[in-house]
Amino acid sequence: MVLGHSNIEGINANVNHEAKRALDLTNTPLQSLNSIVQIIIYMDNNIKIKCQAIGYENESKLREIKNRIHHWKNPELNSKE
């Protein structure tokens, strides 16, 4: 996973679309992820999180990105950590 702060423009226009796309992809059964899946989420704090997942080998990465989306969409969880 790569975290970075670079070339983020039009973030508000893309954030909902990218979050939904990422959720849709991560909810796909792992056996159908037979090619590289790139999930890019532009979060409101301007951090770009990029996750590449290849089939079963990176199931933990898919879980991690889903958890990040969940915490991002539910900010009250972050204040408890």
Tell me if 37 sits within 8 A of 73, measured CB to CB: no
Give 11's contacts (C-beta < 8 A, 6+ positions apart).
Answer: 42, 44, 46
From first to last of its 81 residues, what are the pLDDT tens digits of the chain? 344 433 344 444 455 565 556 656 666 554 444 443 444 444 444 444 444 444 445 566 666 766 776 666 666 765 554
Question: What's the confidence (pLDDT) of residue 47?
Answer: 46
Distance, in Å, from the CA atom of 56 to the CA atom of 33, rounded to the nearest integer, reads 8
Per-domain residue ranges for the chain?
2-72
For 42, the 3-state DSSP assignment is: strand
CA gap 63, 59 in Å, rounded = 6
Q: Considering the entire predicted model, what is its pTM?
A: 0.30
Which residues are paired to 4 by β-bridges?
Answer: 48
Report how many helices (DSSP H) and strands (DSSP E) the chain contains, helices first: 2, 3
